[in-house]
Structures are given as structure tokens and as C-alpha cells.
A and B are shown apart, each in its own frame.
Chain A
Amino acid sequence: MAARTSGAKKGTAHPAPTPTMDSLLATKEIVVACGPGGVGKTTTAAASALMAAINHGSKVLVLTVDPAKRLANALGLDGIGNTEHRVPTSAFTAAGIKPRGELWAAMLDTKESWDSLIRQHAPDAQTRDEILANPLYQNIAGRFIQSHDYIAMERLYEIHSAGEYDLIVVDTPPTRNALDFLDAPERLADFFSSRLLRWLIVPYRSKLINVATKPFYQISDRILGTEFMGDISEFFILFQTMYDGFVERSKAVGRLLSDRRTTFVVVSTLEATPLREAEFFAEQLTERKLHLGAIVLNKVLPDYLQGRAGAAVAETLKDRAEDLAAELSPVLGASDADLGDPAQIARVLTEVADSYLNFQVVALREMEERASLAVAPEVLATVPFFDTDIYDLAGLLRLGERIWG
């Protein structure tokens, strides 16, 4: 199967240009990069934002969760907390790029984002301080896994509403389940409006326990102790004061995700496990009527590993290693006698051929995976395996150009 690597050129017979990341991002205000862990999600988000800043002349923000140290350095994010920060012109100059727009970057600090949310919604200074000091709150803000999912979407909403940026590319946190962050706003709203919450709070307020709920408290008390149950209810009584603000806000976040200005980019590699997960995720997006804009396949082995001709050559090199080495010995030994040892040349030929055949097994497996991809996004971008790590804008640009189409 042919890889879709480049868009249609002007003046060719195509009636409409093939959509590319370029055309996709030109029409969107929010891009959510998602997918399984370890597939290059953060780098893909950063590279897409960079390309938009270079090509669209717009003000672009990339909101990352946990970038590699050198990528953070490249974006000038080292030591910068929750605040947005402009990638300096010097970084672009060093990479030989003259961007039309601006690239901004920010890292997500979960605890700090929660604190600022509380400050915003607390009805008065006393409630605010009590919540911030509550041990349960500190546990939730710092460790509670679902809170990461929610706060990432909440920050996105906050930044988008402020209207500072033409495009926001957000990298999603590594979740146990790639879908968790989609459900987070709704789950939070459910949680704060749940009947169970009222159940829990009432008896500790009024000492009135009805017959139906009594066993629940008895068991809870036995397991957790009355004191802890009291702590929990105190925390939720405090939180109740912010209830309306929270629920309204989380609904707005949910609406923003399904807005037509928002698109999702699913990132994966062609390994079976992450690809199945990415596929499942893409299907879920469609089911929820969210916009699946693109699938980016990362770390794909080069096409030259797939050819039957290559395999035939490799077999020949192995089978005829010794007589080929004898023929090549005078050629290689001409400039440097050390390089003319036939036994060594034969070993090199065999190693090279074996290595090719080994990698071909992997490349063919990947090709099969790509052919079986069951979802059809607007854009399918394939990014080759880069043999070095990305540590500056030039490296990010190299990756970005392959995604851009």
C-alpha cells in the first residue's frame, strides 16, 4: 500500500487538495494530541505547534504535560512553571528558521492549577484557606489520578477563553485509559451533584441517619473510622460552596471539546498494542461525535526495508559472502591494507545482510498493521524513525515537516 506522504501539488489533475495537517490546523483553534503512552505524543504536539507558528503566521501555544528534558530545553521551558512562555527568537535563529508567527509553550502543573481554580471559585477567603489546607484536598490535587485528566482540560478551557492564542495544541496526560480525560469534566460534574454526596454529608451535619443509609455508615465507620469519615464530609461541605461554579465550568469544558473548532490528533506507533489502543480511541471519538482530525503514525521504519528485491540482495550477500569478499578485497585494500582482509569483509557482508533481514521482519509486520487500520481520519501522517533524539528546534522542525504533509 502506498503511504500518503505529501499533499496534492497545485496544477495537477486532483479536483480538491488532499487534506494535510497544514490545512487541518489552519481551520482549528484547539488541537488535542492523544494516544497511548510512549509513542511520541508530546513531541508530535510540539512539532505541530511549531509548524503552525512557522507557516500560518499565528500565535500558537503548546501546552505540554511532561516533556523530555531536552525538548523542554528546546522550547525554553526549563524551570518555567505553569505560566505561558514565548519560545525566544534566538532559538529560531539558531535553527535557521524565520517564523511568521509566534510559538508559546507552557507546562501543566497539576497542583498549581488546582490551587488557582480553588482561588477563583471559593466564595470567601476563609473557605479558600480551609480548602487549601485540608489534607484531603492536598491528596486529591497532588496524587489523585483523575484530577490530572480534569485539570488539563480545565486549563485548556481557561486559556482558550482568554483568547490570547490563534491555536492551542494540548498534549494529554498519560492516563490508564486514553479516554479518561474525555469523561473527566462530566464525571466531576456527576460527582459533585451525586445523591451519595448528600447522603454522606447529611448525617455528619444533623446526626439524622435514616434506616436505608444506616448500614452504609456502619460499614464505612468500621472500615475507615468515624474521624476520617468526618474529615471527608467536612471537605465536601467546603466544596459544596463552590458547587455551582464547578459544575457549570466542567460542562463548559465538555462543550469546548465537542466544538467544531476543536480537533483530535491520535498519535501511535505501528506496534500492535499501542495501535489497537489508538484505534479504539479513534472509534470512541467518532462515537462521541468529536472531531477525529488526524492519525499520526510515529517511528515507522523506512520503506526500503520492505522490498522483496532488498531481501533477495541480502540473501545473495549471505550466500556468496566469501567469493564476494575475495573480489572486493583488492578494491577495499587499495587505500588501506587493514580494510582488505577477505575474512573480515565476508563477516561484514553477512552481518549487514542478517541485520537487513531482521529489520525486514519488523517492517513487514508494521506494514501489515498499517494496512489493517480500521479507522479513516481526514489526515493520515506517517513519520519515519529518526535515528537521533530531538533536542532543538531544528530537530523538531525535521519531524514537523514530515507530519505537515
Chain B
Amino acid sequence: MTPLLDRKLVFVTGKGGTGKTTVASALALLASTQGKRVLVCEIDGKGELAAYYEAPPMAFKEKEVQPGLFAMTMDTEASLREYLKLQLHVPIVGRIGPVAKAFDFLATAAPGVREILTVGKLCFEVRDNHWDMVVVDAPATGHIVGQLAAPQAVNGLVRVGMIRNQTDWMLEMLSDPAITGLLAVCTPEEMPVTETIELAVRVREETTVELAGVVVNRVLPELFGRNEEAVFDALAAPGPLEELDGLIGGDAGPVLDAARLAVTMRRTRSTHLERLREGIDPDVPLLYLPYLFAKSFGLRTTRQVAGSLGEELGL
């Protein structure tokens, strides 16, 4: 399988709340620190990505947020205008109103149009603007298949015309595992694991994009070795705990309770990790990222995650 960092177009998806944007921002940062010229693009336009680099709000036109790392946010209307201008030589200057209306209508009437303009812009960036890597903070697991399958869906509906010619070369790029890959992010919890396994099946059956890896985010540290847990259990029994309280002149109960919670949490999660490993094709690498006990999130934590990701990729 083509290594993740050798691919030119990587879509990062995941169930809501699993850290999709964290991983996308860290992957792009990691690639840029490896000397690549990288573009990272946010699709959903909630404007969260900028915070991961502590950068000002982003726009459709990319801006450099770190050395060699450029960020943009997707705007399908702007993408349409760019497309009309570059491909069809229909310049639309100024008067956005009618175009926006017509576009809104078209996009609502013909499903797939919005998706095709998004995927089209990304493919265009890879092919014509020669980025070493384009990282996409893509829609969540529920919507990514529709996004990636848009070129085929449009091909099925549109038999002639400009769009048809465009989807052909886009499909070629998306189908090439040496160029394009999908990275799924999940946490070791019930729903995220279930959704990731289902996603892997749907991606294989309904799209031409290869699943290039699964990031398992927020993995809790292993607290004890086996005999250490027996020591802990003995320590937490009423007699020894009272002894310990006496020795330190305080209440050690909450501290031990917290450790018990951490152990149980990890144990519950490890069953989901096993289920994930069994449910995903053994050729697809699983990349593990530790739970971050951080005060706040920003460029510093993005760097930490990029570091962990680099280790998992063997850098």
C-alpha cells in the first residue's frame, strides 16, 4: 500500500467528535515539516481549522499559515466561478447575486453538483497547482461517501456535456491509490468503531477511493501491568487504604477512584479496539494517537499530535 505521506490527495473523515480536524491539521503540519509544499482545505466551513494553527480566519484563496503550509476553506460558489472562468472562459465579475441564485438552484435541483465542485476544485489543485500534498478536512463519515462517489453519480446521470468530460479525469485521479487516499479517524468507543467499520465497507463498494489508514484517536495510557493491578486492588481495600490515609494525613480515596475510572475506561475501550482490528482489512494500517491531557488546544497541541502521527508512520 502506498505510504500515507506519499499520496498527493488525502481526505480525512471521521464521526463527529472524534478529532477529524485535529488529525487533518496535524497531518498537514507533519507533511510540511517533512519539506513538502502542502495545502490543507476545510470543507464544512465552520471555520474551526484556523484555530488549530492559531491563524486568522481562512478564505477560498489559500494563505500560508506555517512555513510551506497553506490553508483554505471550501466555497462551492467561488469554486463554480473559478471553474466557469478557467474552464469555460465565462468570466463572472462582480455580479454575484444572479449567479448565486442560479447556482443555489442548480445545486439543490441536481444532487451531486455541490459535491462535484468541491472534489473538482481539490483535484484541480493537485493537478494544476502542483502541491506535494493536499489534505482535506472532509465531511463526517455520514456524508463522505456521497462526496467521494459524486463523480460516478454525476456520470450516471449526465451522459454528455462539459461536466462529463471533467468527471472522467477526476475519477481517474480519485481511483489511483498512488495519488488519492482516505484516512478515517475514530476513537475507541462503540459508535465511532461501528461507523468506521461500516464506512470501510461502503468506501470499498460505493467509491473508487482507497482507505489508506485508520487513525485511532484518544487512546488512554495503560496504567498497570498485570501484577501491578493486583497491588492496586489490595491497596484500595479498606484496611490498607486507611493505613495510607494515616501515613499521608489526607484522603487518598479520590485519587484511587480516579485510577479505577481510568482503568475501567481503558478496558471498555480495548474491546472496541479489538473489534476495530477485526473489522478492518488487515492491509489497512491503524495509527494510534494518545489521549491528550491538555489545558487547551491550539498550535502546540497540533504539533504534539503531528509528532505522534510521525512516530506512528515510522518517521
Q: Is chain B a partner of chain A in the same complex?
A: yes
Whether the pair B139, A331 counts as a contact (CB closer than 8 A) is no
Whether the pair B231, A332 counts as a contact (CB closer than 8 A) is yes
Tell me whether A69 and B194 are in contact in the complex, defined as CB-CB below 8 angstroms, given that A38-B18, A174-B140, A332-B235 are known contacts: yes
Q: Which residues of A contact B228 (CB under 8 A)?
A: 344, 347-348, 351
A145 within 8 A of B: yes
Q: Give 1 or 0 for each of B219-237: 1 = CB within 8 Å of chain A CB.
A: 0010110011011101100
Q: Give 1 or 0 for each of B149-166: 1 = CB within 8 Å of chain A CB.
A: 000010011111111100
A261 within 8 A of B: no
Instruction: For the complex formed, measure the closest distance between the CB of B76 and the CB atoms of chain A, giving whole angstroms.
Output: 12
The contact of A328 among B189, B243, B259, by CB within 8 Å, is B243
A353 within 8 A of B: yes
Q: Which residues of B contact A236 (CB under 8 A)?
A: 109
CA distance A214 to B270 in the complex (A): 62
CA distance A145 to B114 in the complex (A): 11
Whether the pair B102, A356 counts as a contact (CB closer than 8 A) is no
B56 within 8 A of A: no
The contact of A320 among B90, B109, B158, B248, by CB within 8 Å, is B248
Whether the pair B161, A224 counts as a contact (CB closer than 8 A) is yes
- 20 chain-A/chain-B pairs, Cβ below 8 angstroms: A38-B18, A39-B17, A68-B190, A70-B190, A177-B46, A200-B105, A224-B162, A228-B110, A236-B109, A269-B17, A272-B296, A273-B48, A302-B261, A331-B239, A338-B230, A351-B224, A355-B258, A356-B258, A364-B295, A385-B261
The contact of B248 among A196, A269, A317, by CB within 8 Å, is A317
Whether the pair A145, B247 counts as a contact (CB closer than 8 A) is no
Selected interface stretch from A8-16, A25-33, A94-102, A303-311: A303-311
Nearest chain A residue, comparing its CB with the CB of B245: A313
B264 within 8 A of A: yes
A37 within 8 A of B: yes
Q: Which residues of B contact A309 (CB under 8 A)?
A: 250-251, 254
Question: Which 3 pairs, one residue from A and one from B, show the smallest C-beta to C-beta distance?
Answer: A37-B16, A38-B17, A225-B161
Interface size on A, residues (CB 8 A): 85
Q: Which residues of A contact B143 (CB under 8 A)?
A: 145, 176
B54 within 8 A of A: no
Q: Which residues of A contact B252 (CB under 8 A)?
A: 313, 317
Whether the pair A324, B247 counts as a contact (CB closer than 8 A) is yes
Of B161, B232, B296, chain A has the most CB atoms within 10 Å of the CB of B161
Nearest chain B residue, comparing its CB with the CB of A304: B254
B146 within 8 A of A: yes
B142 within 8 A of A: yes
Residues of B contacting A: mostly: helix
Q: A residues bordering B, Cβ < 8 Å?
A: 36-39, 68-70, 135-136, 139-140, 143-146, 174, 176-177, 191, 194, 196-197, 200, 216, 219-228, 231-232, 236, 269, 271-274, 277, 302, 304-305, 307, 309-310, 312-314, 316-317, 320, 324, 327-328, 331-332, 335-336, 338-339, 341, 344-345, 347-349, 351-353, 355-356, 358-359, 361-362, 364-365, 385, 387-389
The contact of B247 among A38, A305, A327, by CB within 8 Å, is A327
Question: Size range of the interface on B?
Answer: 35 or more
B86 within 8 A of A: no
Whether the pair B223, A351 counts as a contact (CB closer than 8 A) is yes
Q: Which residues of B contact A228 (CB under 8 A)?
A: 110, 157-159, 161
Whether the pair A225, B163 counts as a contact (CB closer than 8 A) is yes
Q: Which residues of B contact A358 (CB under 8 A)?
A: 293
Whether the pair B231, A310 counts as a contact (CB closer than 8 A) is no
Instruction: For the complex formed, measure the closest distance between the CB of B12 and the CB atoms of chain A, giving whole angstroms.
Output: 15
Q: Which residues of B contact A359 (CB under 8 A)?
A: 258, 261-262, 293
Whether the pair A144, B254 counts as a contact (CB closer than 8 A) is no
Tell me whether A339 and B163 are in contact in the complex, defined as CB-CB below 8 angstroms, given that A231-B157, A362-B293 are known contacts: no
Tell me whether A191 and B262 are in contact in the complex, defined as CB-CB below 8 angstroms, given that A38-B15, A174-B142, A225-B161 are known contacts: no
Tell me whether A348 and B232 are in contact in the complex, defined as CB-CB below 8 angstroms, given that A38-B18, A232-B109, A331-B239 are known contacts: yes
